[in-house]
Homo-oligomer: A and B are copies of this chain.
């Protein structure tokens, strides 16, 4: 399958000279992922400047049966945003759709186009003395359209929910080129199916999100950060219960870290030091934020931690004495991925299980991998308050990295079999894309796969919208 020159010309005419790229070298960044080596080919990258242009492109592609790969900031981790090899698809990038269309401070909403970068939204909210709480590693380059299409998570899900929870309305170009104006800025609307839910986390397979109404929140006036040792992941879950009983939703982040993760940070990156005087197998990094006067959260946080120490749930803990110290603790967490990369070859998993089973998951997964791969190095961390663990074992030091990488599928199966037995998820926040498509089909029931296919087919009967992502073609 190739796309005819006539169609390519007509597509170019829709967007004009500023709106397309057809030089292979210039198209390269749109065809390759920044990590994990996903790549493909396309004869044309389109960069429409408006919803109207997106609609015209999609309508023409629908008529000519040309498949489209929608792309935001191209920061995804599952190969959902790049074309397949072979050059039979066009890429539609939202990176020229950067308007903030509306701000309604009294309604706590902001209406943005799909191509607005996440930090731009965060910054604009802060200017208005508000918070847009979605926060993740790629925030400086990911775009809100992609964040919504993948239902992005991040470090503040515990308090504010996933991306799904942060949006009130959507504008979507449907696979036939019609525009659905669902840009409602309402907190309650029970007039039929909540259609936006289909596109949030839909990985661009049922339409292209072109704009969204986002929820804003009161900007916290007060923030405290603590770092606590725990004996094991199960203790971390218990500690979360203790902290939430005392501080409620003011517990904004609750991140688990395995000792090894810290060791890799200390060994490979400068400017970090051990926050506690002794060594412990596991830690949690806790952030509490609230609306009280600066300092007012410190006492309840201290009390809750003191209670946990007394109950022998926590052997040692420290509360950051300053914003600088808090930032240092967070830097350790944020540089984990980099430190891990410098320390070996990781096989990454983005799993979730019920919170009550995190300890059991860790024990069983570690045991299974230790038995199969003696010397394998564990380096797990995650958003324990969401039951979401980035379970990323590294190659044994005496293994060739390539040989270890070749074990990827076997290791995935070992880990995901345990996840499946616990009724967990093999992709908690990253999505399926091309990476987990077959695995999802393996573990999900045939009923559920049928439902997904029925939904896809109802909206995209010719399978032209990001085909082969999330579901096999």
Contact = CB atoms under 8 A, between A and B. Distances in A.
A109 interface: yes
A190 B291 contact: no
A429 interface: yes
A4 to B, nearest CB: 29
**How many of these chains are in the complex?**
2
A190 B424 contact: no
Given A188-B153, A191-B426, A248-B220, A455 B452 contact: no
A400 to B, nearest CB: 32
Given A104-B354, A447-B180, A432 B191 contact: yes
A356 B186 contact: no
A1 B168 CA distance: 42
Nearest to A234: B106
A245 interface: yes
B190 A431 contact: yes
Contacts of A237: 106
A214 to B, nearest CB: 13
Contacts of A109: 354
A459 B174 CA distance: 19
B444 A191 contact: yes
A411 to B, nearest CB: 19
Contact of A188 (B107, B189, B218, B428): B428
Interface in A172-203: 174, 178-195, 197-198, 200-202
Contact of A193 (B249, B426, B429, B452): B452
B185 A248 contact: no
- Among A237, A291, A355, A445, chain B packs the most CB atoms within 10 A around the CB of A291
- Among A179, A187, A188, A190, chain B packs the most CB atoms within 10 A around the CB of A190
A218 B244 CA distance: 7
Interface stretch (A157-165, A276-284, A340-348, A368-376): A157-165
17 contacts: A106-B356, A180-B451, A184-B424, A186-B352, A186-B353, A186-B387, A186-B424, A187-B355, A187-B385, A188-B386, A190-B427, A190-B431, A195-B452, A218-B248, A248-B290, A248-B291, A291-B300
